[in-house]
């Protein structure tokens, strides 16, 4: 094991497991997390695309909103229509400030009529919990940050269902995409959800208490060995989500960006009953149009495109790369970037300034990769 983490960083219940597997551990959002394992991130990425990978996501935030008006409280707090979500289903949504800027993107699971689980990004979990508490005031609903109680494991890839099937009492074929139900995994009670952040089929396993995580992880690794399952770290997760065109908070999403600018305006539900935080600003944003938009870029050469690089059109700066990396699946550098909303991307020569050298790129549709369904 190698580590570049802060001594004060928190450890997930799987920390010793990662150390034993030779992971490179880094400080990520205040947590010591595996960046990669001994096989390297490219091998991990390829395994997820072709077979399966196993991820520790225990740094994510888990916040319960419960009570007779839990759905109405979330309708007010978030941009989505959460009270309309059926029990057992999940919804991708966002929490915004009054000015419409994104505070975080979330997945919300409806566990029962009066019980919702809000899953927040690790760096924003405290912010989301505090905002939900404030915004739920006046509703018959309670907000409880249960992040410290949970561990979260994901198995992602074409072989994910085959690996998980012998370890669970669930009929995996009956669990649709963006659905989650209470089952057992490796004999442990879990919320088993068909969700993920890789662009592949897969499952996320929420364990409470989190102390069960090492046992479940080991059972999954053993069951997955004949299928080529490998542990995978943050680096592979990032290139997988980039290929799938999925936004990352702090890169494509921030408090300075609205859902419409990020190409996620579909998650804003103006037709739901009642008011919600940020509604007026988002209505103005929807009416006036975007000032910038997110595009995909694919390099013609080999030099990686990185966040912060300038995007050039006919030599003139027109935007900024938000995420970029070599794509193991496509075999070329790829990036997402913000450009002016009215920029004509169908004409002109596009390039990215990489350390003072213009690297020719093609403007391409997002996502870069879509799995066969």
Q: What is the pLDDT of residue 6?
A: 65
Q: Do domains 2-58+150-243 and 61-146 have the same CATH topology?
A: no
Q: With 70 as the cut, is the pLDDT of residue 5 above it?
A: no
Average confidence (pLDDT) over 6-25 = 94
Write out pLDDT tens, residues 229-257. 999 999 999 999 999 999 999 999 999 99
Average confidence (pLDDT) over 160-187 = 98
Average confidence (pLDDT) over 219-230 = 98
What percent of the chain lies above the pLDDT cut of 70?
98
Average confidence (pLDDT) over 44-68 = 98
Average confidence (pLDDT) over 313-325 = 98
Average confidence (pLDDT) over 351-373 = 95
Q: With 70 as the cut, is the pLDDT of residue 163 above it?
A: yes
Q: What is the pLDDT of residue 136?
A: 98
Average confidence (pLDDT) over 63-74 = 98
Q: What is the pLDDT of residue 46?
A: 98
Write out pLDDT tens, residues 78-132. 999 999 999 999 999 999 999 999 999 999 999 999 999 999 999 999 999 999 9
What percent of the chain lies above the pLDDT cut of 90?
97
Q: With 70 as the cut, is the pLDDT of residue 1 above it?
A: no
Domain spans in the chain, listed from the N-terminal domain onward: 2-58+150-243, 61-146
Q: What is the pLDDT of residue 8?
A: 85
Q: What is the pLDDT of residue 372?
A: 80
pLDDT band for 285, please (50, 70, 90 cuts): very high
Q: What is the pLDDT of residue 290?
A: 86
Task: Please tell me which residue, 4 or 148, carries the higher pLDDT value.
Answer: 148
What fold, for 61-146?
Answer: Alpha-Beta Plaits (3.30.70)
Domain 2-58+150-243 classification at class level: alpha beta
Q: What is the pLDDT of residue 4?
A: 65
HEC assignment per residue over the chain: CEECCCCCCEECCCHHHHHHCCCEEEEECCEEEEEECCCCHHHHHHHHHHCCEEEECCCCEEEEEECCCHHHHHHHHCCCCHHHCCCCEEEEEEEECCCCCEEEEEEEEEEECCEEEEEECHHHHHHHHHHHHHHCCCCCCEEEECHHHCEEEEEECCCHHHHHHHHECCCHHHCCCCEEEEEEECCEEEEEECCCCCCCCEEEEEECCHHHHHHHHHHHHHHHHHHCCEECCHHHHHHHHHHCCCCCECCCECCCCCCCCCCCHHHCCCCCCCCCCCHHHHHHHHHHCCCEEEEEEEECCCCCCCCCCEEEECCEEEEEEEEEEEECCCCEEEEEEEEECCCCCCCCCEEEEECCEEEEEEEECCCCCCCCC
């Amino acid at each position: 094991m190698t580590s570049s983490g802060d001594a004060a960083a928190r450890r997930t219940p799987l920390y010793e497991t990662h150390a034993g597997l030779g992971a490179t551990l880094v400080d990520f959002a205040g947590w010591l997390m595996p960046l990669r394992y001994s096989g390297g991130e490219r091998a991990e990425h390829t395994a997820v695309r072709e077979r399966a990978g196993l991820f520790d996501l225990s740094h994510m935030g888990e916040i319960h909103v419960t009570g007779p008006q839990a759905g109405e409280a979330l309708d007010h707090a978030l941009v989505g229509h959460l009270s309309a979500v059926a029990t057992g289903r999940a919804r991708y949504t966002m929490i915004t400030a009054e000015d419409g800027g994104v505070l975080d993107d979330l997945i919300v699971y409806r566990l029962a009529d009066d019980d919702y689980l809000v899953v927040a990004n690790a760096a924003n979990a405290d912010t989301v919990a505090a905002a939900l508490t404030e915004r739920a005031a006046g509703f018959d609903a309670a907000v409880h940050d249960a992040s410290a109680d949970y561990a979260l494991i994901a198995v992602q890839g074409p072989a994910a269902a085959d690996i998980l099937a012998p370890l669970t009492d669930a009929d995996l074929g009956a669990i649709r995409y963006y659905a989650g139900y209470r089952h057992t995994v490796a004999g442990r009670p879990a919320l088993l959800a068909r969700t993920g952040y890789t662009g592949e089929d897969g499952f996320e396993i929420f364990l409470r208490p989190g102390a069960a995580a090492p046992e479940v992880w080991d059972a999954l690794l053993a069951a997955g060995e004949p299928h080529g399952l490998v542990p995978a770290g943050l680096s592979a997760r990032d290139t997988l989500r980039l290929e799938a065109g999925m936004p990352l908070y702090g890169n494509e999403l921030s408090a300075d960006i609205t859902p419409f600018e990020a190409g996620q305006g579909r998650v804003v539900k103006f037709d739901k009953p009642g008011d919600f935080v940020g509604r007026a600003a988002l209505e103005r944003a929807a009416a006036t149009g975007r000032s910038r938009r997110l595009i995909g870029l694919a390099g013609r050469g080999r030099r990686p495109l990185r966040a912060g690089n300038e995007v050039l059109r006919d030599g003139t700066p027109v935007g900024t790369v938000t995420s970029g990396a070599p794509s193991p699946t496509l075999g070329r550098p790829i990036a997402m970037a913000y450009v002016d909303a009215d920029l004509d991307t169908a004409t002109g020569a596009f390039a990215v300034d990489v350390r003072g050298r213009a690297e020719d790129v093609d403007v391409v549709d997002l996502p870069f990769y879509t799995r066969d369904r």
